[in-house]
Amino acid sequence: GDSVTQMEGPVTLSEEAFLTINCTYTATGYPSLFWYVQYPGEGLQLLLKATKADDKGSNKGFEATYRKETTSFHLEKGSVQVSDSAVYFCALLNQAGTALIFGKGTTLSVSS
């Protein structure tokens, strides 16, 4: 079945460091791909998405490119801030378009 694998955390970085969180998927066809972020004490928020191969989603300085050849959707940011500390979830939409399938989440901790 469909699945999402993302790198284990926690990821600990200093402010202004470069961030990469790896995400790969297994799915039938070409599903829409998402990154969600969960700040402490809050619900999941959509960070960015891509709906077809080679699309690049971007928001708040974060980017991810839909790579069908490597079935990946890695999240990157050039310069992280303390306020980026959160849990990041990679997800795909199943083929029926009815449900999101999530990775396990990666905790990012940024220190000043």
Partner 1 sequence: GAVVSQHPSWVICKSGTSVKIECRSLDFQATTMFWYRQFPKQSLMLMATSNEGSKATYEQGVEKDKFLINHASLTLSTLTVTSAHPEDSSFYICSARRRTSGRGETQYFGPGTRLLVL
What is the closest distance, in whole angstroms, from the C-beta atom of residue 20 to partner 1 in the complex? 20
Write out the binding residues for partner 1, residues 19-58 only, by CB under 8 A.
Answer: 32, 36, 41-46, 49, 51
Nearer to partner 1 (CB atom), residue 78 or residue 104: 104
The partner residues of 102 in beta bridges, in order of sequence, read 91
List the one residue from 21, 64, 75, 101 that touches partner 1 (CB under 8 A): 101
Q: Which is nearer to partner 1, 29 or 112 (CB)?
A: 29
Binding range to partner 1, per CB under 8 A, among 18-26, 54-62, 71-79, 93-101: 93-101
SS (H, E, C) the chain: CCEEEECCCCEEEECCCCEEECEEEECCCCCCEEEEEECCCCCEEEEEEECCCCCEEEECCEEEECECCCCECCEEECCCCHHHCEEEEEEEECCCCCCEEECCCEEEEEEC
Which residues of the shown chain bind partner 1 in the complex (CB under 8 A)?
A: 4, 32, 36, 41-46, 49, 51, 89, 93, 97-105
